[in-house]
Amino acid sequence: MKTIELDGNNLDLTLFQKIIFEKHPVNVSKISKKKIDACRKIVDEIVEENIVRYGINTGFGKFSSVVIDKKDTVSLQKKIVLSHAVGVGKPFDEAVVRGMMLLKLNSFLQGYSGVRYEVAETLVFMLNKNVIPFIPEKGSVGASGDLAPLSHMALVMTGSGKAYFQNRLMSGRSAMKKAGIDILELRQKEGLAILNGTQAMTSLAAAALIKNETILKSADIIAAMSLEALKGSLSPFDIRIQNARPHEGQKTTSDNFIRILKDSEIIKSHKDCNKVQDAYSLRCIPQVHGAVKDTYNHVKKVIETEMNSVTDNPLVFDNGHEVISGGNFHGEPVAFAMDFLGIAVSELANISERRIEYMLDTSTNDGLPAFLTEKGGLNSGFMMTQVTAAALVSENKVLAHPASVDSIPTSANKEDHVSMGTHAARKMLEITENVKNVLAIELLCAAQALDFRGSEKSSESVRNVFKAFRSKVKFMKNDRYIHPDILASAEFIGKGSAVAGAEKITGELKI
Amino acid sequence: MVVITGSGLTIEKVVRVARSGEKVKLHPKAVQRINVCREMLEKKVKAKEIMYGVNTGIGEFSEVVLNDDQVKDFQKYLIYNHSAGIGDPAPVEYVRGAMLGRINVHAHGNSGVRLEVTQTLVELLNKNVTPYVCQKGSVGACGDLAPMSQIALVMMGEGQAYYKGKLMPAKEAMDKAGIPVPGLKARDGLATINGSNVLTAMSAIFLYDADRWLKQAEIAAAMSLEALKANMKPYTRLLHEVRGFKGAIRSAESINKIVSGGDLKEGRVKCKVQDAYSMRSTPQVIGAAHDALAYARSQVEIELNGVGDNPIFFADKNMQLSGANFQGSPVAVPMDMAGYCITMVSILSERRLNRLNNPALSVGLPAFLTKGAGMFSGLMLSQYTADMQITEQKLLSTPASIMSIPAAADQEDFVSMGMNTAIKNFQILDNAYGILGIEFMAAAQALDFRKEEYKFGKGTQKAKDVVRKHVEFLDIDRPLYKDHTTMKHLVRSGEILDEVEKVVGALDKY
């Protein structure tokens, strides 16, 4: 597998996906190594000459005015890691932890953090050998960055804490030893440089964006199937309407639909029917799915910027031993972006649930059997799937409440405004799971409805998705245990099978 | 006349005094208790005993001891710097309710206030002088400091007040009403302001209004149920008794009373085996709201009759204690719940409105309740109006009691935000009047389409007649905003409720 070279500026979602999920190895560019070495030299000189600089030879946070004796500056780093490892709860997934290590590594590569090259290299080794620190998911208020989660990572780098290696949880020291990675003894500034930063929330955010890329495209494909199933009209997707209100996402969405449905016999068959207007959940898809896409793209820009940012504090600049303390660890940019994306993606499920209802209800579904089942009464068909969808949509409404508007002062009011961005990003992933499951239910219903309509008359791309889906989930002739079908449908979407099935015919769908 | 004893104050009495202008009088025993307590306090002042808020600064400044000269001026400055409210004035009834609550606190004889101060509050109520109080500015701990301070200003002959409906300088209002200005001496300032009396009075008034609204929600439900040919078996008392919630039993019985005497109740109209939840589970939902309101009432009435003050003086033990009885949380928490119960019941009302409008669900009623479909849209847009109000209610249903922001240099580092609860509860209720008015209008319209077909219950018929006194049958489309607004006022007035109760008996007796 190709090794990916990092330089502190070149990370994007595509590379993130390759490194985190496909496990491409990484290395550090030569120029980055030079920058790191040059920066460390400044720190060493400061230490040597006994110049007082925050984070190098002072206490932290509220204790920043306490000057630390030269002989204690190394033990200071050990103590900061220990005292900040205060997380609680279940551990983060492997992918999130790998993302944190990658992002922390990348942030060192611009050479402003004052760590030795060995510190960066340790992270390179841990990524490549897949040593996964045990990091509890709760405990960060998102400023000074993700202190608690990153401390748990630093514990393993320094040979304590706990870590997974080859899928087994063990002491951090054994994990490092088994992987053949030397344990670090942190020098001045290094503890703080590892702890300070937004890597947990940004890693969660990147994972959320990657998952939602598939979800956004799948939502278009599944809604197109519902449109066929409900004998909806394609004319609201006419490009002239979108040009008159030129939001990018709106145009992209209608373009996707036209490509997915262009040769649909079902759509053609009722072109001149007497239904003048469809309900909003069909007719306003370009506007709603489009606005979600616009939001996604805005958020992606923010997160990709953050992925190439230096978010620790203070930063060391080369001329004149300057160590400047600012607030790059403050997670507000990520917090806003995650709250906003959470709201947007929730809407995909909200409108999807309405289409599910539309397909199940005989007063709206244009001749399909009630709850999409034969022998209604004896069978209840898909009746209860809408209930599940409604429960998930309601849960999302609560989760969509912004985390970023909350702030609780910490650290004796020194850190008196915090971002709560890690919570925003965590709940974003919960929202994402719920949305995927609602779409899974819409897919189940749409496929069942197309069986009643005669799926051979669907467009070629829908037929292709339908065929792949039916190899996983069969037509439901009589009531059966539906839960496994919902799981299979969600897995079908999550693995990108709906997208692959459609794109094989249409070419790449756009976001 | 309400006699104030320090106990037995109910939300009904608050409404009678605050809204209807009933007069009040201090019980002689209360007068005695106030005097005994004050005597003890004055002895301690003479003995130069250090007492918080009497001869010390307040809040973060509680360690600063004041000399004799300063004690006098301190009362004035205390009230000045706490009169920190902002914006529009609170309605007169909230301020009257707050004064009543404060008198009842003093009546315990634990506040160390001079009798003149309490008696002046009595006079203000009886002679209809109402201090001008800004609605916003309280975080609900140390009580409602800012709004109560604007009442205290009037006690010094400062600030503004309403007299006979006119706003004027407080001194002028006091003179016209013939009330002497008592001034504030040691302890009087804090004893006047240090309690959550405004938010408690507002909550009491809200609970009274919300109960009347819930009864009307039952009447509207009964009308819609008759128009939609509901199966009335789910309203059988036994069904609710076996589950055991009082509110549900009450609600089912109320609806039974309203529909009794009609063909539907008597089983002469064909209905479905099982109806949708919005038709079938009214007693469980409105009943849950009754139960929640009952709990909220019990908490509010404890607060109305308790000593919400600080510090507190115990004359019989020659002792004073500083605590935090001003903290508004005991009221804020149940009131957050009371508020969102109104939202919940409004959501149920909107669902019935939807069924009346939607021909797939309305068992033969014309689509959108108009017989001129296409040319006319009937009540199609009324649902939009209901829906936007419900969304506003949902936004307002986020609890305020979890929103604490530390104040006063972290000395007051947890506050109840009960004032926000009280304010937004009235906003929720305001929307609820509008939503229910629209259901009443739609239900009356639907019943008009059914009236040749079968006979309605006595209460239903009466409610429809009252609606028809104000809003005509929608034969051809007309601008709806006037009807919507008329209906909202009608629900707020309670006329439908009063008329229906005359025919079927009290709706809360079961």
Helix residue ranges per DSSP H, B87-227: 92-106, 115-126, 145-155, 170-177, 188-193, 197-227
Interval A342-364 mean pLDDT: 96
For chain B, helix, strand, coil in percent to 5 are: 60, 5, 35
Are residues B406 and A363, on separate chains, in Cβ contact within 8 Å?
no
Q: Which one of the listed residues B61, B77, B277, B295 is annotated catalytic?
A: B277
Interval B275-295 mean pLDDT: 95
Q: What is the CATH number of the domain that holds B126?
A: 1.10.275.10
Question: Is residue B319 in a domain?
Answer: no
Do B184 and B228 have their domain in common?
A: no
Query: Which of A140, A169, A197 marks a domain boundary?
Result: A197
Q: Which one of the listed residues B16, B38, B52, B325 is annotated catalytic?
A: B52
Shortest CB distance from A409 goes to which of B359, B361, B406?
A: B406
Give residue B142's pLDDT: 85
Numbers of helices and strands, H then E, in chain B: 19, 9
The distance of A365 to chain B (nearest Cα, Å) reads: 12
Question: Is residue B321 in a domain?
Answer: no
Q: Which two tokens stand for residue A320?
A: 């004149």
The string of DSSP codes covering A349-364 is HHHHHHHHHHHH-TTT
Q: Which two tokens stand for residue B40?
A: 């003890």
Do A272 and A165 have their domain in common?
A: no
A14 pLDDT more than 90: yes
Predicted structure pTM score? 0.84
Strand partners, A338: none
Tens of pLDDT, residue by residue over A405-415, are 988 888 877 88
Residues of chain A contacting residue B359, judged by C-beta atoms under 8 Å apart: 363
Are residues B134 and B147 in contact, defined by beta-carbon separation less than 8 angstroms?
yes
The distance of A479 to chain B (nearest Cα, Å) reads: 22
Do B101 and B238 have their domain in common?
A: no
Measured between alpha carbons, how far is B217 from B245 in angstroms, rounded to an integer?
A: 19
Helix or strand or coil: residue B432? helix
Tens of pLDDT, residue by residue over A69-100, are 888 888 999 999 999 999 999 999 999 999 99
Query: Which of B169, B195, B221 marks a domain boundary?
Result: B195
Do B139 and B82 have their domain in common?
A: yes
Chain B interface includes A413 (CB < 8 A):
yes
Q: Which of B214, B213, B268, B257 is nearest to B235 (CA)?
A: B257
Do A174 and A309 have their domain in common?
A: no
Tens of pLDDT, residue by residue over A23-77, are 999 999 999 999 999 999 999 999 998 888 888 888 887 888 888 888 888 899 9
Are residues A384 and A482 in contact, defined by beta-carbon separation less than 8 angstroms?
yes
Are residues A16 and A308 in contact, defined by beta-carbon separation less than 8 angstroms?
no
Question: Is residue B270 in a domain?
Answer: yes
Give residue A290's pLDDT: 96
Give residue B161's pLDDT: 98
Give residue A318's pLDDT: 77
Give me chain B's average pLDDT, please: 95
Tens of pLDDT, residue by residue over B85-104, are 999 999 999 999 999 999 99
Residues of chain B contacting residue A364, judged by C-beta atoms under 8 Å apart: 360
Closest chain A residue by Cα to residue B404: A408
Do A167 and A243 have their domain in common?
A: no
Give me chain A's average pLDDT, please: 95
Q: What is the CATH number of the domain that holds B421?
A: 1.20.200.10
The distance of B358 to chain A (nearest Cα, Å) reads: 10
Structural domain of residue A63, as residue ranges? 4-197
Range from A114-123, B17-26, B406-415 carrying the lowest mean pLDDT: B406-415
Do B265 and B282 have their domain in common?
A: yes
Are residues B360 and A363, on separate chains, in Cβ contact within 8 Å?
yes
Are residues B440 and B223 in contact, defined by beta-carbon separation less than 8 angstroms?
yes
Tens of pLDDT, residue by residue over A170-193, are 999 999 999 999 999 999 999 999
Question: Is residue B318 in a domain?
Answer: no
Q: What is the CATH number of the domain that holds A43?
A: 1.10.275.10
Measured between alpha carbons, how far is A169 from A164 in angstroms, rounded to an integer?
A: 4
Question: Is residue A254 in a domain?
Answer: yes
Q: What's the structural domain count of chain B? A: 2
Do B267 and B381 have their domain in common?
A: yes
Instruction: From residue A8, give the alpha-carbon distance in Å to each of A11, A104, A117, A305, A323.
Output: 7, 10, 14, 11, 20
Residues of chain B contacting residue A363, judged by C-beta atoms under 8 Å apart: 358-361
Do B69 and B92 have their domain in common?
A: yes
Do B135 and B11 have their domain in common?
A: yes
Query: Which residue carries 């008034």 as its tokens?
Result: B205
B70 pLDDT more than 90: no
Tens of pLDDT, residue by residue over B447-480, are 999 999 999 999 999 999 999 999 999 999 999 9
Structural domain of residue B376, as residue ranges? 203-306+332-504
- For the question of residue B326 being annotated catalytic, the response is yes
AA letter at A423:
H
Measured between alpha carbons, how far is B260 from B136 in angstroms, rounded to an integer?
A: 47
Chain B interface includes A274 (CB < 8 A):
no
Are residues A124 and A43 in contact, defined by beta-carbon separation less than 8 angstroms?
no
Do A111 and A258 have their domain in common?
A: no
Give residue B407's pLDDT: 83
Query: Which of A138, A171, A197 marks a domain boundary?
Result: A197
Do A424 and A501 have their domain in common?
A: yes
Do A186 and A217 have their domain in common?
A: no
Do B59 and B208 have their domain in common?
A: no
- The percentage of chain B sitting over the pLDDT mark of 90, rounded to a whole number, equals 89
Measured between alpha carbons, how far is A351 from B454 in angstroms, rounded to an integer?
A: 40
Do B145 and B209 have their domain in common?
A: no
Measured between alpha carbons, how far is A306 from A187 in angstroms, rounded to an integer?
A: 26
Chain B interface includes A89 (CB < 8 A):
no
A94: buried, middle or exposed (CB in 10 Å: 19+, 13-18, 0-12)?
middle
Interval B240-257 mean pLDDT: 96
Query: Which of A142, A168, A197 marks a domain boundary?
Result: A197
Do A111 and A251 have their domain in common?
A: no
Window 362-391 of A, Cβ < 8 Å to B: 362-364
Q: Which of B281, B274, B235 is nearest to B258 (CA)?
A: B235
Are residues B360 and A413, on separate chains, in Cβ contact within 8 Å?
no
Measured between alpha carbons, how far is A265 from B302 in angstroms, rounded to an integer?
A: 71
Helix or strand or coil: residue B343? helix
Do A315 and A457 have their domain in common?
A: yes
Q: What's the structural domain count of chain A? A: 2
Give residue A308's pLDDT: 97
Is residue B57 very low, low, confident or very high in pLDDT (cuts 50, 70, 90)? confident
Give residue B405's pLDDT: 87
Closest chain B residue by Cα to residue A363: B360
Which residues 6+ apart lie within 8 Å of A178 measured at CB? A165, A166, A170
